Amino acid sequence: MDFKELIVYQKAFKLAMDIFEISKSFPKEEQYSLTDQIRRSSRSTCTNIAEAYRKRRYPKHFLSKLTDSDGENSETATWLDFAFACEYLNNDIHKKLYNECVEIGKLLNYMMNHPEKFGSAPVL
């Protein structure tokens, strides 16, 4: 199996692309702060999943990269809250994207709690 077949990777990739498209409408003064940060964290969620999958043979590395991915996902959710508070996102879009972060977090948590289902030994 390739990491691109993981549901969590597919959801994280889609979220990163949705955020990229939506953030194009953010004000220019946010280019090097909110816009850059939300794009980076959403992309990093995805890339850390890919790295974790490639390191699954080493349980502690697998868990570490998944934990990094989970942290980046939480950062993305926080940036979404800032974008909503600054009125760059309407309530419906914020809720949709935020709920996607929650779903990704649940999938990552499942992977961390059941590494053996993804080709890694449980971390003792």
pLDDT greater than 90 at residue 122: no
pLDDT in tens, 10-26: 999 999 999 999 999 99
- Position 124 pLDDT exceeds 80: no
Say what the pLDDT of residue 1 is.
Answer: 78
Per-residue model confidence as pLDDT tens digits over 63-72: 999 999 999 9
CATH superfamily of 12-115: 23S rRNA-intervening sequence (1.20.1440.60)
Residue 90 CB partners (closer than 8 Å, separation 6+): none
Return all residues near 105 (Cβ < 8 A) that are at least 6 apart: 70, 73, 74, 77
Q: What is the pTM of this model?
A: 0.94
User: What is the pLDDT of the chain when averaged over all its residues?
Assistant: 95
* Residue-range domain boundaries for the chain: 12-115
Q: Please, where are the H alpha helices in 36-58? A: 36-54
Q: What angle do CA 99, 65, 116 make, to 5 degrees?
A: 90
Q: Are 107 and 11 in contact (CB under 8 A)?
A: yes
Q: What is the pLDDT of residues 80-108, one digit of tens each?
A: 999 999 999 999 999 999 999 999 999 99
Share of the chain above pLDDT 90, in %: 91
Segment 34-59, tens digit of pLDDT: 999 999 999 999 999 999 999 999 99
Q: What is the mean pLDDT of residues 60-64?
A: 95
